[in-house]
Amino acid sequence: MSQIAAEATIELRHPTLADGAAIFQLIKDCPPLDVNSAYAYLLLCHHFADTCVVAESNGRIVGFISGYVPPQQPDTFFVWQVAAHRDARGQGLGQRMLRFLLDQPAVSGVCYIDTTVSPSNEPSRAMFARLAKTLETHLEESELFSATMFGPGAEHEEEKLLRIGPFNLG
Ligand SMILES: CC(C)(COP(=O)(O)OP(=O)(O)OC[C@H]1O[C@@H](n2cnc3c(N)ncnc32)[C@H](O)[C@@H]1OP(=O)(O)O)[C@@H](O)C(=O)NCCC(=O)NCCS
């Protein structure tokens, strides 16, 4: 896929089961994201479509966010994976997808966003810092998943918890 021109139309919508395989491929194309199973992405499309988004350009899936409201934290939207294809980066797509999800009825009751980031993922950190600024609220960082929790030989960086809020979606 060649660079997507800034003026090209990228449409946002909730995913359907028909998007599962393309989302799986997008995640494979977006290191350093963990590649979960194709089954996991189908489940997200099936059970969590209301809190997930895909970005489509000329019939191709070029962006995806998975998220959900944790059952025991109804005031929080947990953002799991954010992917923008490399040809669609630097145009605010990550930000647009986050805002799209915050506009959905399924998250209208939340006043915090939680997500996890590895210490070395600068693009992800920059994207969430920008979101906190736009929402005119705080961003706090704390420990969550240590590298050892991923198990021996996993070679997985630690994942810090970023908590953004409180905010009022109006
Ligand atoms: C992280 C990612 C989704 C950002 O997508 P994007 O559409 O390019 O991000 P945006 O254009 O919305 O940028 C949002 C902010 O982050 C900043 N940013 C984005 N990429 C950056 C980079 N590589 N280095 C520094 N800052 C960066 C932007 O400058 C912008 O900040 P600003 O508004 O203050 O200028 C994309 O780089 C990606 O898919 N990376 C691989 C997968 C990944 O690491 N996902 C995040 C972990 S869940």
For residue 94 and ligand 1, the question of a CB distance below 6 A is answered with yes
Q: Is the pLDDT of residue 86 over 90?
A: yes
Which domains does the chain possess? 11-164 (3.40.630.30)
Residue whose CA lies nearest to ligand 1 atom number 5: 94
Pocket probe mutation, ligand 1, options 87, 89, 157, max atoms within 8 Å of Cβ: 89
Q: Global pTM?
A: 0.95
pLDDT confidence of residue 6: 61
CA distances from residue 161 to 62, 76, 116, 130, 137 in whole angstroms, order as listed? 26, 13, 5, 16, 16
The first and second tokens of residue 27, run together, are: 């995640």
**Mean pLDDT along residues 18-30:** 98
**Nearest 5°: phi and psi at 114?**
-110, 145
